[in-house]
Amino acid sequence: GWLGWGINPHSLEMSGTSALIAFQSSQGAQLHSYSVSRQVKDDDISLSPQEQTEVPFQNQSVIMEGTIVTIFATIPLTNSSSTTMNHVWNFGDQVLGDSPQSHDFKKANLVSLRRIDMSKKDSVAQPLVSKLTPRQRLKNTHALLSGAAWGIAIPVGVMAARYLRPFTSPSGAWFYLHLMIQIPAYGVGVAGWVLGLKLESGSGNVYETHRNIGYAIFAGGTLQVIALLVRPKPYEKIRFLWNIYHQSIGYATLVLGVVNVFIGLSILEPAAKFKTAFIAVVISLGAVSLVMEVVTWIIYFQRK
């Protein structure tokens, strides 16, 4: 892996940073200077060592002791030098030759930058006011749409079909309520899935488990919509098999949806309150389902 630290002489961001990046090679500990341009950041161009960077580091060296890496460098100053310093740091898992590869896009990697005012005694880093990048906004929107659709609305729609039938069976109101929930939820879920594809295409990081379950959820949801279009009449013999198919795919999609929302939250690493809120919703839906399951079975046996 690699670990880097640098200074951005212009703004508090990664693009434009002059960086010192350390890594271990067959020749021992290595430390090179790099220019992290906007093209490198946005277009995934490989980083290459630079003899000269905008910030003229001097006397640089590195000490690696186990998992502790210490980088030393001297920065010449002039009378016109700013007293504030935008310093940036990050780490990654892979180095190809002398080229560090992309870091993760977890929260810790995206907010690893601080501004220090060197003119003040006992200067400390100013708290970072988080500014969402377009990619982070895309991630948040993907999480919101997918979580609301596959993790909440779809389970509610399934509950409506399973537990309201004994109370509304003659009128069929449960069926129309089921459709009113599931069809919009499917549309929102597909929108979230499309954003997931966009996120994958613009990143070197692929979360295979999350992606593959997402494909399965999309396939299951789409099969349910198709099943609605070819739904046999109640008196047709094939209706029994159709019911088994529809319920099996539905329950599988429901479980995968909830599981994948939790996987997505572990990747996104939002504030703890969001994960707590989703857990509370899942527990609440589970508790309601348990109660309604008992009630519907009681009604079933009474009618028998």
Binding-site residue numbers for heme b are 142, 178, 210, 246
**Is residue 263 a contact partner of residue 209, using CB atoms and an 8 Å limit?**
yes
Angle at 202 between CA 201 and CA 204, to 5 degrees: 90
Establish how many alpha carbons lie within 13 A of residue 222's alpha carbon, considering only the half-sphere containing its beta carbon. Answer: 9
**Is residue 155 a contact partner of residue 285, using CB atoms and an 8 Å limit?**
yes
Task: Name the DSSP letter for residue 128.
Answer: P
**Is residue 14 a contact partner of residue 135, using CB atoms and an 8 Å limit?**
no
Tell me the binding residues. 142, 178, 210, 246
Question: Which residues partner with 24 through β-bridges?
Answer: 29
Helices 134-146, 173-201: crossing angle, 10 deg rounding: 160
**Is residue 235 a contact partner of residue 220, using CB atoms and an 8 Å limit?**
no
Angle at 212 between CA 206 and CA 218, to 5 degrees: 125
**Is residue 195 a contact partner of residue 35, using CB atoms and an 8 Å limit?**
no
**Is residue 133 a contact partner of residue 243, using CB atoms and an 8 Å limit?**
no
116: nearest Cα among 125, 107, 108: 125
- The region that residue 33 occupies, defined by phi over 0 for left and psi between -120 and 50 for alpha, beta otherwise, is beta
Return the structure tokens found at 212. Answer: 């593959």
From CA 112, how far away is CA 157, in angstroms rounded?
Answer: 42
From CA 223, how far away is CA 252, in angstroms rounded?
Answer: 12
